[in-house]
């Protein structure tokens, strides 16, 4: 099973290492909040545990970023467990995060391995430092040029891969949400040319671009001091917020990419439409299925692809927390009752879709490709 390769892009201090440690901490074991878990090798699990201990201990300093020539890979298996007597386990996806020293983006660190990261990647997570965003929202001198410079160094090498999923993640959301909305952040970023041009070009291509609020420690854990340093509160407890949401968005958008490819084959030109009529939608769906398996490792076959290509969740129309919990319970139960990987994957995809659609309603600015600022 080929892993989905994800490249988190962030300049030094954006929080790549902190994000990965918090992600694993939340998903190392299935709990009431999620119906799946992430599994990795013992050595990496120990390393990530140490990083999160440093993060979550109010008396410990923040962990250092990825330093020197540390080009690390973080492999995770996405595991679901059935609720029957056998408690069978299905590995439905493999994720591979490709980390690198933040200095590679700014030129502080040079390494020939860095460009290869872009070639290998299936999707991009652009991590935006919440401290820098908050300073800009507060009108701090030179804050906009600093953000613009950060975005330029992250987005310029990404342009050759602009059709792949791109999610912007606002880190340290806990300090921003006390005074500002995600709409405020979207409007601020929309005034910065590298950001606005990227979003607009992807909109013309029909590609979704997302803005995801995220905190590795959650609300009430740390405060921003006047010197720009995050200081932990005494006896505070870390509660990671939205660290798993980029996974939901990634799966949702990759499935939509498969749907879009089918439509492009159908509508591209006269010969494409003729091909569609001659060989029928079934065979085209099978070819899209094979394409999707090449992009990300779903259980192959039309039986899986057809319902996913038509994935809609009209039940979530009211956008309430009650509706969200009811649907998560429904699809979580379906995962537990699955008799094979295909059934489990179909239910897991719908579970993730609920989370994405709920985020779209909770944070209207999160879907940048459709956000109007109103």
Q: What is the mean pLDDT of residues 288-312?
A: 51
Q: What is the pLDDT of residue 271?
A: 54
pLDDT band at 312 (very low <50, low <70, confident <90, very high): low
Q: What is the pLDDT of residue 263?
A: 62
Q: What is the mean pLDDT of residues 288-309?
A: 51
Percent of the chain surpassing pLDDT 70: 80
Q: What is the pLDDT of residue 301?
A: 45
Phi, psi of 125 (to 5 degrees): -115, 110
pLDDT band at 38 (very low <50, low <70, confident <90, very high): very high
Give the domain ranges of the chain.
4-243, 255-365
Q: What is the pLDDT of residue 87?
A: 85
Cα 117 to chain centroid, rounded: 17
Q: Exposed e or buried b for every residue in 14-49, given b needs 16+ CB within 10 A?
A: bbbbbbbbbbbbbbbebeeebbbbbbbeeebeebbe
H or E element in which residue 281 lies: helix 270-295
Q: What is the pLDDT of residue 70?
A: 74
Residue 67 has pLDDT above 50, yes or no: no
Highest mean pLDDT among 6-15, 64-73, 176-185, 243-252: 176-185
- Which pTM was predicted? 0.85
Q: What is the mean pLDDT of residues 34-39?
A: 87
Supply angle C-alpha 349, 256, 79, rounded to 5: 25
Considering only 4-18, 61-75, 298-312, 328-342, which range has the smallest mean pLDDT? 298-312
The whole-angstrom separation of Cα 37 and Cα 228 is: 35
Q: What is the pLDDT of residues 205-216, one digit of tens each?
A: 888 899 999 999
Cα 71 to chain centroid, rounded: 20
- Cα–Cα distances in Å, from 237 out to 27, 262, 277, 362? 17, 47, 60, 25
Supply angle C-alpha 317, 322, 327, rounded to 5: 70
Residue 27 has pLDDT above 60, yes or no: yes
Residue 148 has pLDDT above 80, yes or no: yes
Name the more confident of 303 and 4. Answer: 4
Nearest to 362 by CA among 335, 332, 311, 323: 323
Q: Which fold has domain 4-243?
A: Rossmann fold (3.40.50)
Name the more confident of 327 and 313. Answer: 327
Q: What is the pLDDT of residue 97?
A: 92
Q: What is the pLDDT of residues 229-282, one digit of tens each?
A: 889 999 999 999 999 999 888 888 877 776 666 666 556 655 555 544 554 544
Strand spans (E) along 66-190: 73-81, 89-98, 123-128, 166-170
Residue with tokens 């994000």: 19
The encoded tokens of residue 205 equal: 């291509």
Q: What is the pLDDT of residue 44?
A: 93
Residue 175 has pLDDT above 90, yes or no: yes
């Amino acid at each position: 099973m080929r892993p989905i390769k994800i490249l988190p892009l962030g300049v030094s201090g954006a929080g790549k290492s902190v994000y990965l440690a918090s992600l694993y901490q939340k998903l190392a074991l299935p709990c009431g909040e999620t119906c799946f878990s992430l599994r990795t090798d013992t050595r990496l699990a120990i390393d990530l545990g140490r990083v999160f201990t440093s993060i979550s201990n109010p008396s410990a300093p923040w962990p250092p970023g990825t330093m020197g020539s540390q080009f690390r890979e973080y492999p995770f298996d996405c595991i679901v467990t059935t609720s029957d007597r056998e408690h069978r386990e299905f590995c439905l996806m493999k994720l591979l995060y490709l980390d690198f020293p933040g200095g590679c983006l700014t030129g502080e660190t040079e390494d020939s391995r860095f460009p290869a990261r872009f070639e290998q990647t299936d999707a991009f997570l652009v991590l935006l430092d919440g401290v820098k965003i908050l300073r800009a929202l507060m009108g701090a001198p030179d804050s906009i040029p600093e953000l613009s410079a950060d975005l330029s160094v992250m987005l310029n090498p990404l342009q050759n891969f602009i059709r792949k999923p791109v999610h912007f993640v606002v880190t340290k959301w806990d300090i921003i949400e006390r005074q500002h909305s995600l709409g405020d952040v979207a409007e601020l970023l929309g005034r910065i040319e590298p950001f606005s041009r990227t979003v607009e070009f992807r909109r013309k291509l029909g590609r979704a671009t997302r803005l995801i609020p995220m905190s590795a420690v959650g609300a009430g854990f740390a405060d921003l001091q006047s010197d720009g340093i995050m200081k932990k509160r005494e006896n505070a407890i870390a509660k990671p917020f939205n660290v798993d949401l980029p996974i939901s968005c990634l799966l949702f958008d990759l499935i939509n990419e498969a749907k879009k490819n089918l439509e492009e084959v159908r509508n591209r030109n006269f010969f494409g439409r003729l091909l569609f009529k001659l060989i029928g939608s079934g065979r085209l769906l099978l070819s899209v299925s094979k394409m999707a398996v090449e992009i990300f490792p779903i259980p192959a076959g039309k039986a899986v692809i057809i319902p996913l290509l038509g994935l809609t969740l009209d039940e979530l129309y009211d956008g309430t927390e009650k509706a969200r919990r009811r649907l998560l319970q429904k699809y979580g139960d379906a995962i537990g009752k699955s008799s094979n990987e295909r059934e489990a994957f179909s239910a897991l995809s719908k579970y993730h879709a609920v989370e994405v659609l709920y985020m779209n309603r909770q944070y209207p600015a999160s879907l940048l490709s459709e956000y109007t600022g109103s």
